[in-house]
Amino acid sequence: MNDLVQHSAYFGVVISVAAYALGILIKKKFKLAIFNPLFLSIIFIIAFLLAGDIEYANYEKSANLLSYLLTPATVCLAVPLYRQIEVLKKNKLVVLLGLGSGVVSSLVTVFILSILLGFSNEMFVTLLPKSVTTAIGMEVASELGGDSTIAAAVIIVTGIVGNMSADIICRVFRIKDPVAIGLAVGCSSHAVGTARALEMGEVQGAMSSLAVAVSGIMTVILAPLFSMLSV
């Protein structure tokens, strides 16, 4: 099995797509937030690799095509934003203030937790871009001297948690405004959270798409400043 994956250009892609499709079927069947398709697909792939004694490096090589689709998929999030451009124009000040406070609070939270948990400076800068999309976060972490691989894992976990908890948090804090919901989800849990925002409504999805782009840019600007803080 290891040789098959190693010498196949698409076996990893097939495994990944099949695992995600199975996750979608389970989510539709049980309709529970905990059965997030991405979360389930990660579990399925790990189980498959362990059962087949397949080296992760071989799987990653044969699934590399999916990585090339990450950036264009993120760019495609501009489509729902374009459809809701009038809503954006009416709420531009709220959008800027909301996203600015969201990005700063994320960076401050990482800084405080890094001090409390005794993280090294390398781990601190690795966690700084946890709430932006993977394409941006890995580059930011690498440029700041962090571990891009760990950054990718943290970003994915952050997105899954945001996707699974968005509804619950909105109900607990009685957040009903679609613009506020979209901005919060996109700013805190990037593209994975945006997938859930799109399910909640078109306005939520559009605002979340905007949040992914703008919070990513803000993080690129502010993260280097925070990285100079000593933990």
Please tell me the pTM assigned to this model. 0.84
pLDDT tens for the chain, 231 residues long, are 666 665 666 888 899 999 999 999 999 999 888 888 989 999 999 999 999 888 888 888 888 888 778 778 777 777 877 888 888 888 889 899 999 999 999 999 999 999 999 999 999 999 999 999 888 899 999 999 999 989 999 999 999 999 999 999 999 999 999 999 999 999 999 989 998 999 899 899 999 998 998 899 899 999 999 999 877
Q: Give 43-84 as a DSSP string.
A: HHHHHHHHHTT--HHHHHHHTHHHHHTHHHHHHTTHHHHHHT
Count Cα neighbours of 3 within 13 Å in the Cβ-side half-sphere.
0
